[in-house]
């Protein structure tokens, strides 16, 4: 009896339900679904706790002055004003001894000011050696304090201006970038980028994981000869459609659970951080994710998944083993890697021509367009055009994959050549 007669349902629905139930009821599906919210909470709590802890730890540096023009003293005051611990050392202080203090964890590093650093027009090379030299925050703080100390020293010498007056006059403003397109309320530039990047990465991960699952399922059934029994009960097109829909439904359930937890975590981030003793981090202004953004994200996930799942299903039908599948999927993997490599193009200029092109191409639009939309770089007509092209491309990919699937699903042995694939597609 066919699945249609036994269940009273179309073949593809029976197969889709089977694929969905087999995945949803496994322990791994439940574990990964629950692990997502835990990772989201950890992604907010851990950096905030570490940042708060780092803020209470003072950087310890030694300043070795070869210039003797007053730069070292001003630099010491500037660094101590930032909460650092800075001490002065004579010019003949041996570097080996200072490195030994770093090794013994007595200091974090030492700064060497060369002779002539205060000379007008000079561009001295001030060297910092320390175990935290890879920290961008340390480098930025040292650079700002050093520039201020050099300029104040030069003005004091040339114009006899008191150092306290110069320090007040040269106090630099703090830049606070706020992202807005003029149509929505402003939000922190860094926060907007992080939200957009998170959306892009989750979509990429979900599409890859579930599309590859389709290929592996096809290869496994083909290797075990189970597909021969299934083809006797249902048409190959129904097998492929049901498999893609069933696996996609499992992915949609997982994405919905993650999205719901992400919304709760972002909304109540202040309260969550307060439980860990971190205050003020919840005041960062995040971009609002409205219903339109959620609809766009889900639409691109579904179409992107169907587009790549159809390609992976065709690959699974073409090969006879897992090893062959790993090699055959290389072109599709490259199509997924390109959007990730071009992510910064969209982030830097969401309204630019490069971003428009990348979010219109069907292989990159599912990953990059939701990010661009969150960054307020895409208009309604642009989204509609991108979705239309992606939908048409998905239908074409499914049509080609179905023709390859119906022939390749029962083929074993050597992987077909491009000419043979073209013959499979033309076969009626």
pLDDT over 70 at 213, yes or no: yes
The stretch 25-42 carries a mean pLDDT of 74
User: What is the phi-psi region of residue 126: left when phi exceeds 0, alpha when psi lies from -120 to 50, beta otherwise?
Assistant: beta
pLDDT over 50 at 282, yes or no: no
pLDDT band at 382 (very low <50, low <70, confident <90, very high): very high
Cβ–Cβ < 8 Å for 170, 152: yes
Q: 37-54 pLDDT, tens per residue?
A: 677 666 666 666 665 555
Token output for 48 = 């905030």
Report the pLDDT value the prediction gives residue 3, as an integer from 0 to 100. 46
pLDDT over 60 at 283, yes or no: no
Closest CA to 292 of 232, 374, 354, 375: 374
From 266-275, 341-350, 387-396, the region with the lowest mean pLDDT: 266-275
pLDDT over 70 at 402, yes or no: yes
The domain covering 59-174 belongs, at the CATH homologous superfamily level, to Periplasmic binding protein-like II (3.40.190.10)
**Mean predicted lDDT score pLDDT of the chain:** 76
- 354-384 CB burial, b ≥16 within 10 A, e <16: ebbebbbbbbbbbbbbbbbbbbbbbeeebbe
Q: 70-114 pLDDT, tens per residue?
A: 778 888 888 888 788 888 888 888 888 888 888 888 888 898 888
Report the pLDDT value the prediction gives residue 192, as an integer from 0 to 100. 61
Report the pLDDT value the prediction gives residue 222, as an integer from 0 to 100. 73
Angle at 54 between CA 52 and CA 56, to 5 degrees: 75
The stretch 203-230 carries a mean pLDDT of 75
pLDDT over 90 at 384, yes or no: yes
pLDDT band at 388 (very low <50, low <70, confident <90, very high): very high
Report the pLDDT value the prediction gives residue 403, as an integer from 0 to 100. 81
From 54-58, 115-119, 139-143, 165-169, the region with the lowest mean pLDDT: 54-58
Cβ–Cβ < 8 Å for 325, 315: yes
Token output for 265 = 């975590």
Q: What percent of the chain has pLDDT over 70?
A: 71
- Of 14-18, 284-288, 330-334, 411-415, highest mean pLDDT: 330-334
The stretch 266-286 carries a mean pLDDT of 61
- The three-class DSSP label of residue 55 is helix
Report the pLDDT value the prediction gives residue 391, as an integer from 0 to 100. 92
Q: Where are the domains of the chain?
A: 12-45+181-426, 59-174
Q: 295-354 pLDDT, tens per residue?
A: 888 888 888 888 888 888 888 888 877 777 778 888 888 888 888 888 888 888 888 888
Report the pLDDT value the prediction gives residue 301, as an integer from 0 to 100. 83
Report the pLDDT value the prediction gives residue 360, as an integer from 0 to 100. 92
The stretch 4-14 carries a mean pLDDT of 61
11/147 Cα distance (integer angstroms): 73
pLDDT over 90 at 386, yes or no: yes
The stretch 284-301 carries a mean pLDDT of 72
Q: 352-372 pLDDT, tens per residue?
A: 888 899 999 998 998 889 888
pLDDT band at 393 (very low <50, low <70, confident <90, very high): very high
């Amino acid at each position: 009896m066919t699945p249609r007669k036994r269940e009273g349902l179309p073949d593809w629905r029976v197969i889709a339900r089977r694929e969905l139930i087999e995945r949803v009821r496994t322990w791994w599906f439940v574990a990964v679904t629950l692990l997502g919210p835990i990772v989201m909470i950890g992604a907010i709590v851990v950096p905030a706790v570490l940042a708060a802890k780092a803020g209470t730890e003072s950087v310890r540096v030694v300043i070795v002055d070869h210039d003797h023009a007053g730069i070292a003293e001003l630099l010491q005051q500037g660094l101590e004003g930032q909460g650092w611990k800075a001490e002065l050392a004579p010019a003949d202080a041996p570097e080996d001894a200072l490195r030994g203090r770093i090794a013994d964890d007595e200091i974090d590093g030492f700064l060497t000011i060369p002779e002539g650093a205060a000379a007008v027009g000079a561009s001295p090379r001030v060297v910092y050696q320390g175990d935290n030299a890879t920290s961008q925050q340390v480098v930025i703080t040292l650079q700002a304090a050093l520039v201020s100390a050099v300029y104040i020293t030069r003005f004091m010498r040339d114009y006899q201006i008191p150092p306290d007056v110069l320090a007040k006059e040269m106090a630099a403003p703090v830049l606070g970038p706020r992202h807005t397109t003029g149509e929505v309320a402003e939000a922190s530039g860094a926060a907007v980028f992080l939200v957009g990047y998170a959306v892009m990465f989750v979509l990429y991960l979900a599409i890859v994981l579930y599309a590859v699952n389709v290929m592996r399922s096809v290869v496994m059934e083909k290797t075990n000869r189970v597909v021969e029994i299934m083809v006797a009960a249902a048409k190959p097109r129904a097998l492929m459609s049901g498999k893609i829909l069933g696996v996609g439904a499992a992915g949609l359930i997982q994405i919905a659970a993650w999205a719901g937890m992400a919304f709760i975590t972002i909304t109540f981030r202040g309260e969550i951080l307060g439980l860990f003793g971190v205050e003020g981090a919840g005041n960062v202004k995040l971009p609002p994710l409205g219903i339109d953004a959620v609809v766009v994200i889900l639409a691109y996930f579904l179409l992107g998944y169907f587009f790549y799942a159809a390609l992976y299903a065709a690959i699974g039908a073409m090969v006879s083993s897992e090893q062959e599948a790993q090699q055959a999927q290389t072109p599709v993997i490259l199509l997924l890697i390109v959007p990730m490599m071009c992510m910064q193009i969209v982030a830097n200029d969401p309204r630019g021509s490069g971003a428009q092109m990348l979010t219109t191409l069907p292989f990159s639009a599912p990953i990059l367009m939701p990010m661009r939309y969150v960054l307020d770089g895409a208009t309604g007509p642009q989204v509609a055009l991108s979705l239309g092209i992606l939908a048409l491309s998905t239908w074409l990919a499914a049509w080609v994959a179905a023709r390859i699937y119906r022939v390749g699903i029962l083929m074993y042995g050597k992987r077909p050549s491009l000419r043979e694939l073209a013959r499979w597609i033309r076969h009626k």
